């Protein structure tokens, strides 16, 4: 039996392009779910540019233990089980691999990690709509995908491609997360939508899904990420931490709804 069979929900956190805060969102979502009492794993699926060691504060050079000469024991950080290509190679190593090697490496990390019986496995997907996304959708029972975007048009255009890709391969969209939604000045308290407003809502309406999170643009998020402490596990303002906690609650609710829909019987009426 595969270790994946003992995981209740596998959630992809994806984006159409890089630079929209997808990995930061995935890490904070994982920790927020753990804080709400769930057992959680976090898998970094970006073979070329793994960021999980940095965002989860796992020291460079830390390697997973190998069990039975094959299985990797996931590392623990902030109460979350973690694995990443970044644990297996030096941080300066460039993965100059063609697509088949990348897919093979991802599949091995996914299947050969000794995950516990988890409530959630959050997969931080690489940007784009490439081989890893297709391989995962074809070979793993994914509960659904969370699409991360920023409000400006160029990010929304790429996010649409991500939604289209998951829709074509039969992966449900749990919702859209609008990252860097609003900046609140730390000096005067003025709120400003630096990257525009309403983009996430328009995207969600176009595809009949919900905006399940609006996350702020705040220097504390960047500082905490760089220090290896997800902002939900820090002493940052309650408003910031509550935004990610709300996202975690929304993901849980939509995952349960999707699971219930998948388990519902199909009734067909014939003339027989």
Q: Is the dihedral of CA 19, 62, 135, 40 positive or negative?
A: negative
pLDDT tens by residue, 16-71: 778 899 999 999 999 999 999 999 999 999 988 899 999 999 998 899 999 998 89
**Alpha-carbon distances of 172 from 72, 95, 208, 261, rounded to whole Å:** 29, 31, 11, 11
> Bigger pLDDT: 157 or 262?
157
Break the chain into its structural domains and give their ranges.
3-263
Q: Are 225 and 24 in contact (CB under 8 A)?
A: yes
Q: What was the pLDDT predicted at 1?
A: 57
> What is the pTM assigned to this prediction?
0.91
Helices (H), 120-152: 131-139
Q: What was the pLDDT predicted at 104?
A: 92
Q: What was the pLDDT predicted at 111?
A: 94
Tokens 């996914």 sit at which residue? 110
| Rounded Cα gap, residues 99 and 89, in angstroms | 18
pLDDT tens by residue, 154-193: 788 889 998 999 999 899 999 999 998 877 766 676 677 7
Q: Is the dihedral of CA 150, 135, 58, 113 positive or negative?
A: positive
* Cα angle, residue 90 at apex, residues 84 and 94 outer, rounded to 5°: 85
* Domain 3-263 superfamily per CATH: P-loop containing nucleotide triphosphate hydrolases (3.40.50.300)
């Amino acid at each position: 039996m595969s270790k994946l069979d003992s995981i209740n929900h596998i959630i992809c956190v994806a984006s159409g392009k890089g630079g929209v805060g997808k990995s930061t969102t995935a890490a904070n979502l994982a920790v927020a779910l753990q804080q709400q009492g769930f057992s959680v794993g976090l898998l970094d699926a970006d073979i070329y540019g793994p960021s999980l060691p940095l965002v989860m504060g796992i020291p460079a050079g830390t390697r997973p233990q190998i069990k039975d000469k094959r299985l990797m024991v996931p590392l623990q950080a902030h109460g979350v089980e973690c694995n990443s290509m970044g644990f297996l190679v030096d941080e300066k190593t460039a993965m100059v691999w063609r697509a088949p090697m990348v897919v093979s490496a991802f599949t091995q990390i996914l299947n050969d990690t000794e995950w516990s019986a988890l409530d959630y496995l959050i997969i931080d997907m690489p940007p784009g709509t490439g081989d890893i996304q297709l391989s995962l959708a074809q070979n793993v029972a994914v509960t659904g995908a969370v699409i991360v975007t920023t409000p400006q048009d160029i990010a929304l255009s790429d996010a649409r491609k991500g939604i289209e890709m998951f829709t074509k391969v039969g992966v449900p969209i749990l919702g859209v997360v609008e990252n860097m939604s609003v900046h609140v000045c730390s000096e005067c308290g003025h709120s400003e939508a630096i990257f525009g407003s309403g983009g996430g809502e328009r995207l969600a309406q176009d595809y009949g899904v919900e905006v399940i999170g609006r996350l702020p643009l705040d220097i504390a998020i960047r500082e905490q990420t760089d220090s290896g402490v997800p902002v939900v596990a820090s002493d940052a303002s309650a408003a910031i931490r509550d935004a990610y906690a709300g996202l975690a609650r929304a993901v849980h609710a939509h995952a349960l709804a999707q699971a219930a829909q998948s388990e519902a019987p199909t009734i067909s009426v014939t003339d027989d």
